[in-house]
Structure 1
Amino acid sequence: MYTFDQATLDGTGAFLVGELERLDQELNMPLVGYTWSRDIQLREDVSIADDISSFTNSTFAAAGTPNPNGKNWIGKDSTAIAGPNVDIAKTGFPLTLWGMELGWTVVELAAAAKVGRPIDTQKFDAMQLKWNMDTDEQVYRGDSQLGVKGLLNYNGAAATNAPKTWATSTPDEIRASINLLLSNAWAASGYTIVPRDLLLPPEQFALLSSIIVSSAGNQSLLTYLRENTIAFHQNGVPLNIRAVKWLKGAGTGGTDRMMAYTNDKKFVRFPMVPLLSVPVQYRGIYQLTTYYGKLGAVESPYPETMAYMDGI
């Protein structure tokens, strides 16, 4: 049995080691994964001085002549010629200040440095991990306290229900449900954009990887779907299929949801002000520094290019 001195300051990473104890010096950080930087691009024109990030949507209207619903024909001697009307609407989202203070005493710093586990570096790593975890949730789910939505529950994106769960579906039925989702987004955009990206819950992603569709046994359904949906035939590039943990239970009634969209700044982006810091402050034997940044909310000037399907 190992015994540890209760007076040991665990926060510094310095503790007693027995004579017959072999301590592994490698630091094992918390097991955490985040994928926000993979699935969305940043809007980088925002600054720490900004309180709101906004964008505009223009609406055009034009009446034809002589038929208001027709083309704009005019005669050689026309004096009343119609023109277009323009309306510009602005949409804004809050840019919220995020911050954490790192602190340690000079005694803790010296003790941790002596055993090869600097407390300042570890606290910085912990702060960055929290920053990325908060950003991950903000990107995918938004924040209920701030009243903002994320990539997976954005207002204005169409949502439908799957005919049946994938666990009880054949490969053809799974492919049909994905094509239905892509077609819904294509139709909502006026047949302008077919989504290039598909996000799935981890279990459904694993299911596609495990189903073999080739008689030779060398092609999974996941690989097959990349080039056998309307996305590939319309866009000319394989459908980009990825797994996202936040989709599990994200649908109506706690069902699993999948999402189709195009990962491009024109259609969806996330405003962020990267972390900044203040100089180290000294208070007695304490050293303190503060890191701060700003997290916005997912912006989509064209929410009709996104689509959800629940119950997969």
Structure 2
Amino acid sequence: MVMQTFDQATVDGTGTFLIHELERLDQTLNMPLVAFTWGRDIQLREDVSIADEISSFTQSGFSASGSPASNGKNWLSKTATAIAGVNVDISKQGFPLTLWGMELGWTLPELQAAAQVGRPIDSQKFEAMQLKWNMDTDEQVYTGDTGLGIKGLLNLSQVTPMNAAKTFATSSPDDMRLAINTVLSAAWANSAYSMVPTDLLIPPEQYGLLASTIVSTAGNQSLLTYLSTNTIAYHQNGRPLNIRPVKWAKGIGTSGTDRMIAYTNDKKFVRFPMVPLMSVPVQYRGLYQLVTYYGKLGAVEPVYTETLAYMDGI
């Protein structure tokens, strides 16, 4: 007696399988579960091109002495012959733009076989490549790259973190509100009281805690909703504080603690240079079809680092 077997791994590279007569295959393509949020939390600097090697910007510093007192106002007498002026100092900041690329390839028989079963291999490889691009961009935006020696939004060396009095898990609603107002106030003071941050990024666990904690004095409102309109950010900027969770904030603080960042999501203050993906024409090598996609990822540009503040140990 000859037994018929069905090997599910047969021709697995093209997404085709042998199906048993009593097997009901769900045709839905279940993609890997991945979340990336870089497009939500930072604005792009889009004037860079594929030919650029470095993205840069300038920062101007002004100084002026008073008259007759050097630290006073600029008063003049009718007979004055020495008049004070203004000094301007312009410095340049530069960041690398690094080439990113990936090659997609398949054979014509693979393409035909996968298309016949309704799972085209070319479009799936393209989606996989886009997923890798977004995952790499996500890490580049939030934490930078160790090999390239660059930092991200959550670990800028120019920003000195402060320590929380206690973790959110051991804090009362008032303690958490005080911690958030403290980090907002620190950024406000660092900017010479010119800008209160509009955005707050916290780890997912702390975000869930804010969402589940009830403020009974506010009419059974969640602390997350309550804080959006009950911090200095709302009263100074006239719009709710935008509190969002980000996985990269977990364990990135000093000694592996969780970090909270207050900043303003505006390209005037902080932005990320990027050259979007582009491709070369399809190349044919025998039965193979090959296409290369490439783009450039920069480094987070903190134009005004004084508008950012970190708090560790939350």
**TM-score, normalised with respect to structure 2:** 0.97
The residue that corresponds to 2:290 in the other structure is 288
Q: Deviations over 1:234-267 (max 9, x none)?
A: 1111100000000010100110111100000100
In the aligned structure 2, how far is the partner of 1:273 from the partner of 1:197? 25
Selected match of 1:19 from 7, 21, 27: 21
The residue that corresponds to 2:43 in the other structure is 41
- SS of 2:216 mapped into structure 1: coil
Is 1:249 the counterpart of 2:251 in the alignment? yes
Report the AA paired with residue 298 of structure 2: G
In the aligned structure 1, how far is the partner of 2:290 from the partner of 2:246? 36
- The alpha-carbon deviation at position 3 of structure 1 amounts to 6.0
CA shift in 2, pair 1:91/1:17, >3 Å: same
The residue that corresponds to 1:95 in the other structure is 97
Selected match of 2:161 from 156, 159, 162: 159
In the aligned structure 2, how far is the partner of 1:299 from the partner of 1:275? 20
CA shift in 2, pair 1:137/1:4, >3 Å: farther
Q: Deviations over 1:169-203 (max 9, x none)?
A: 11001100100100110110001110000001000
Q: 212-221 or 70-79: which moved more?
A: 212-221
The residue that corresponds to 1:29 in the other structure is 31
Selected match of 1:199 from 198, 201, 204: 201
The residue that corresponds to 1:112 in the other structure is 114
- SS of 2:221 mapped into structure 1: coil
In the aligned structure 2, how far is the partner of 1:166 from the partner of 1:5? 52
Q: Deviations over 1:136-180 (max 9, x none)?
A: 000000001001000001121231000001111110011001001
The residue that corresponds to 1:181 in the other structure is 183
The residue that corresponds to 1:145 in the other structure is 147
Q: 29-38 or 217-226: which moved more?
A: 217-226
Structure 1: runs of 5 or more not aligned: none
8 Å CA contact 1:158, 1:306 repeated in 2? no
CA shift in 2, pair 1:216/1:38, >3 Å: closer
In the aligned structure 1, how far is the partner of 2:160 from the partner of 2:295? 32
Q: Deviations over 1:203-227 (max 9, x none)?
A: 0000001111135864100000001
The residue that corresponds to 1:72 in the other structure is 74
The residue that corresponds to 1:60 in the other structure is 62
CA shift in 2, pair 1:115/1:156, >3 Å: same
Selected match of 2:87 from 74, 85, 88: 85
Of all paired residues, the percent bearing the same amino acid is 75
The residue that corresponds to 2:223 in the other structure is 221
Report the AA paired with residue 132 of structure 2: K
8 Å CA contact 2:9, 2:17 repeated in 1? no
**TM-score, normalised with respect to structure 1:** 0.97
* Number of residues of Structure 1 aligned to a counterpart in Structure 2: 311
Q: Deviations over 1:22-71 (max 9, x none)?
A: 00000000000000000000000000000000011001111111111111
CA shift in 2, pair 1:282/1:153, >3 Å: same
The residue that corresponds to 2:10 in the other structure is 8
The residue that corresponds to 1:50 in the other structure is 52
CA shift in 2, pair 1:293/1:226, >3 Å: same
* 4+ residue runs over 6 A deviation: none
* RMSD of aligned alpha carbons: 1.3
The residue that corresponds to 1:125 in the other structure is 127
- The alpha-carbon deviation at position 278 of structure 1 amounts to 0.3
The residue that corresponds to 2:275 in the other structure is 273
8 Å CA contact 1:158, 1:304 repeated in 2? no
In the aligned structure 2, how far is the partner of 1:6 from the partner of 1:112? 15
